[in-house]
Amino acid sequence: MDFLRPARWEEALAAKAEHPTAVPIAGGTDVMVEINFDHRRPEYLLDLNRIGELSEWEVGQENVRLGACVPYSHIMEHLRAELPGLALASHTVASPQIRNRGGVGGNLGTASPAGDAHPALLAAGAEVEAESVRGTRMIPIDAFYTGVKRNALAPDELIRAVHIKKADGPQQYSKVGTRNAMVIAVCAFGLALHPETRTVRTGIGSAAPTPVRAKEAEEFLNAALEEGGFWDSRTIITPSIAKQFADLAAGACNPIDDVRGTASYRRHAVGIMARRTLGWTWESYRGNGRSTEGAA
């Protein structure tokens, strides 16, 4: 095994081009587990910790450009206003020790269907900034997850940053697990209201081979909210609408039975989380809702 320690981003790209099998390591919270358990013996480890810019973020007009290695603890602490859904999701990641190391770039690189950040990214709307010596491309988050632990990156590409839409309305995140800390999601759900475009976006975690949006549920809800004039009246969403939304969200799942839960439980729980997160965010939108503090 070789340990590659690029000091600058350009060097990292050159190293990845020269050794496409090199495994990038940032927080190490996925990669080191695999190495410790002898599940993986990469030829090259490509350490990204020395590249300072990867741990920085910029808040722009429309987006937050989040460096691939910004740890979850910083997202929770500094980006709660701009990225409330992702901040809530970050808070559900493992433990303080893990949140101090792990970040969204690693979550995307691993592309586990259970990755905590994915539902929040899908709901907020995001693009992955992937780069190689050949150039930079922006991959829409919807097109990024291609299979179980597979993503749209080419072998010579690295994730430099994620561009996430700044919240223009309330966002929520919900995760089912046996306890609050150190839990891999049984399933998870992210929801973002976008009052500027009068749309609702969702993200489902751990209930399909990849993180997915509940697109039919979104389309139904967008039409129902428009038709009922809810965005203007800010009245309570009719229970039948919320139920239909929840049923459609459950229908968007394609889960499996595994040690953490059964497929039918996951479908059921996603429906419940869809209804609850819609209720919480809508109450916030109406002006009397719970805050995003610790609501996960």
Partner 1 sequence: MRVNFTVNGRRYEADDVWEGESLLYVLRERMGLPGSKNACEQGECGSCTVRLDGVPVCSCLVAAGQVEGREVVTVEGLADFAARRSQAHPGRGHLPHAERSGGGCASGACGTALDKARQWEAEPAGEETRDTGELSPIQQAFIDAGAVQCGFCTPGLLVAADELLERNPEPSDADIREALSGNLCRCTGYEKILDAVRLAAARAEETV
Task: Please report, as ranges, the residues that interact with partner 1 according to CB under 8 A.
Answer: 1-3, 5, 25, 27-29, 31-33, 35-37, 41, 45, 47, 49, 94-98, 100-101, 180-182
Q: How far is the CB of 147 from partner 1 (least distance, A)?
A: 24
Q: How far is the CB of 284 from partner 1 (least distance, A)?
A: 23
Tally the C-alpha atoms within 13 A of residue 127's C-alpha that lie toward its C-beta: 14
Residue 38 burial (CB < 10 Å; 0-12/13-18/19+)? exposed
Q: How far is the CB of 47 from partner 1 (least distance, A)?
A: 5
Nearer to partner 1, 32 or 272 (CB): 32
- Three-class DSSP category at 135: strand
Nearer to partner 1, 74 or 165 (CB): 74
Q: How far is the CB of 57 from partner 1 (least distance, A)?
A: 17
Q: How far is the CB of 159 from partner 1 (least distance, A)?
A: 18
> Which residue do the tokens 């460096």 mark?
67
Nearer to partner 1, 14 or 98 (CB): 98
Task: Check residue 54 and give left, alpha or beta (phi > 0: left; psi -120 to 50: alpha).
Answer: alpha
Diameter of the chain measured on Cα atoms: 62
Give dist(CA 15, CA 79) in Å, integer. 32
Nearer to partner 1, 3 or 233 (CB): 3
> Which residue do the tokens 């839960």 mark?
261
Nearer to partner 1, 28 or 228 (CB): 28
